[in-house]
Amino acid sequence: DAKTTQPNSMESNEEEPVHLPCNHSTISGTDYIHWYRQLPSQGPEYVIHGLTSNVNNRMASLAIAEDRKSSTLILHRATLRDAAVYYCILRYGGSQGNLIFGKGTKLSVKP
Protein backbone atom coordinates (compact mmCIF):
# COMPACT_ATOMS: atom_id res chain seq x y z
CA ASP A 1 0.00 0.00 0.00
CA ALA A 2 1.27 3.46 -0.90
CA LYS A 3 2.08 5.50 2.18
CA THR A 4 1.26 9.06 3.18
CA THR A 5 3.17 11.53 5.33
CA GLN A 6 1.38 14.08 7.50
CA PRO A 7 2.54 16.46 10.25
CA ASN A 8 1.87 15.07 13.71
CA SER A 9 -0.01 18.15 14.87
CA MET A 10 -1.23 21.56 13.78
CA GLU A 11 -2.89 24.50 15.48
CA SER A 12 -5.46 26.88 14.13
CA ASN A 13 -7.55 29.80 15.34
CA GLU A 14 -11.30 29.63 15.27
CA GLU A 15 -12.95 31.07 12.15
CA GLU A 16 -9.67 31.04 10.19
CA PRO A 17 -8.92 28.74 7.25
CA VAL A 18 -6.87 25.61 7.87
CA HIS A 19 -4.65 23.88 5.34
CA LEU A 20 -3.73 20.32 6.25
CA PRO A 21 -0.92 18.92 4.04
CA CYS A 22 -0.32 15.35 2.96
CA ASN A 23 2.58 13.93 0.96
CA HIS A 24 2.14 10.75 -1.06
CA SER A 25 5.12 10.59 -3.40
CA THR A 26 4.61 6.89 -4.26
CA ILE A 27 0.98 7.26 -5.29
CA SER A 28 -0.08 5.15 -8.26
CA GLY A 29 -2.38 6.19 -11.05
CA THR A 30 -5.31 4.23 -9.63
CA ASP A 31 -5.03 5.44 -6.02
CA TYR A 32 -7.75 7.73 -4.72
CA ILE A 33 -6.87 10.27 -2.02
CA HIS A 34 -9.24 9.98 0.94
CA TRP A 35 -9.53 12.13 4.05
CA TYR A 36 -11.23 11.07 7.26
CA ARG A 37 -11.36 12.69 10.65
CA GLN A 38 -11.87 11.32 14.12
CA LEU A 39 -13.31 13.44 16.87
CA PRO A 40 -12.46 12.46 20.45
CA SER A 41 -14.16 9.21 21.54
CA GLN A 42 -15.91 8.76 18.18
CA GLY A 43 -15.48 6.63 15.10
CA PRO A 44 -13.77 8.03 12.00
CA GLU A 45 -15.89 10.22 9.78
CA TYR A 46 -15.55 10.56 6.00
CA VAL A 47 -14.54 14.07 4.90
CA ILE A 48 -13.73 14.05 1.20
CA HIS A 49 -11.95 12.12 -1.54
CA GLY A 50 -10.60 12.73 -5.02
CA LEU A 51 -8.55 11.23 -7.82
CA THR A 52 -7.01 13.98 -9.95
CA SER A 53 -9.15 17.11 -9.82
CA ASN A 54 -9.80 19.40 -6.89
CA VAL A 55 -12.99 18.56 -5.00
CA ASN A 56 -15.38 20.57 -2.87
CA ASN A 57 -18.16 19.47 -0.56
CA ARG A 58 -20.05 20.97 2.36
CA MET A 59 -17.34 19.99 4.84
CA ALA A 60 -14.09 20.86 3.07
CA SER A 61 -12.10 21.25 -0.13
CA LEU A 62 -9.39 18.95 -1.43
CA ALA A 63 -6.60 20.44 -3.49
CA ILE A 64 -4.53 17.88 -5.40
CA ALA A 65 -1.12 18.76 -6.85
CA GLU A 66 -0.76 18.40 -10.58
CA ASP A 67 1.72 15.50 -10.19
CA ARG A 68 -0.55 14.00 -7.49
CA LYS A 69 2.37 13.56 -5.11
CA SER A 70 0.79 15.80 -2.51
CA SER A 71 -2.60 17.11 -1.50
CA THR A 72 -4.09 19.61 0.92
CA LEU A 73 -7.32 19.41 2.88
CA ILE A 74 -8.79 22.88 3.33
CA LEU A 75 -11.25 23.74 6.07
CA HIS A 76 -12.53 27.16 5.08
CA ARG A 77 -13.48 28.41 8.56
CA ALA A 78 -12.33 26.32 11.46
CA THR A 79 -14.71 25.83 14.36
CA LEU A 80 -14.06 24.27 17.74
CA ARG A 81 -15.92 21.21 16.50
CA ASP A 82 -13.23 20.69 13.82
CA ALA A 83 -10.65 19.77 16.49
CA ALA A 84 -9.87 16.15 15.58
CA VAL A 85 -7.28 13.79 14.15
CA TYR A 86 -7.28 14.03 10.36
CA TYR A 87 -6.17 11.04 8.32
CA CYS A 88 -4.98 11.21 4.71
CA ILE A 89 -5.24 7.74 3.14
CA LEU A 90 -4.64 6.36 -0.34
CA ARG A 91 -7.31 3.91 -1.40
CA TYR A 92 -6.54 1.68 -4.34
CA GLY A 93 -9.05 2.08 -7.11
CA GLY A 94 -9.16 -1.61 -7.93
CA SER A 95 -10.59 -4.56 -6.04
CA GLN A 96 -8.19 -4.43 -3.08
CA GLY A 97 -8.98 -0.95 -1.82
CA ASN A 98 -8.74 -1.39 1.95
CA LEU A 99 -8.28 1.79 4.00
CA ILE A 100 -4.95 1.59 5.82
CA PHE A 101 -4.68 4.27 8.50
CA GLY A 102 -1.52 6.06 9.56
CA LYS A 103 -1.18 8.29 12.63
CA GLY A 104 -2.79 11.36 11.09
CA THR A 105 -2.56 15.03 12.05
CA LYS A 106 -4.02 16.19 15.34
CA LEU A 107 -5.66 19.56 14.73
CA SER A 108 -6.21 21.87 17.67
CA VAL A 109 -8.51 24.87 17.27
CA LYS A 110 -8.10 27.84 19.61
CA PRO A 111 -11.04 30.14 20.38
Please identify which residue in 12, 62, 104, 109 interacts with other proteins, judged by CB under 8 A.
Answer: 104
Q: For other proteins, which is the closer residue by CB, 7 or 17?
A: 7
d(CA 42, CA 21): 23
Task: Based on the shown chain and the rule CB under 8 A, indicate whether residue 99 belongs to the binding site for other proteins.
Answer: yes
Closest separation in Å from C-beta 23 to other proteins: 17
Task: Give the interface segment with other proteins, choosing from 7-15, 16-24, 42-50, 66-74 (CB under 8 A).
Answer: 42-50
The angle subtended at Cα 12 by Cα 34 and Cα 44, nearest 5°, is 35
Residue 4 contacts residue 89 (beta carbons within 8 Å): yes
- E strand map for the chain: 9-13, 18-23, 31-38, 45-50, 55-56, 61-64, 70-75, 84-92, 105-110
Site for other proteins contains 94 (CB under 8 A): yes
Residues within the interface to other proteins (CB under 8 A): 30-32, 34, 36, 42-46, 49, 51, 87, 90-104
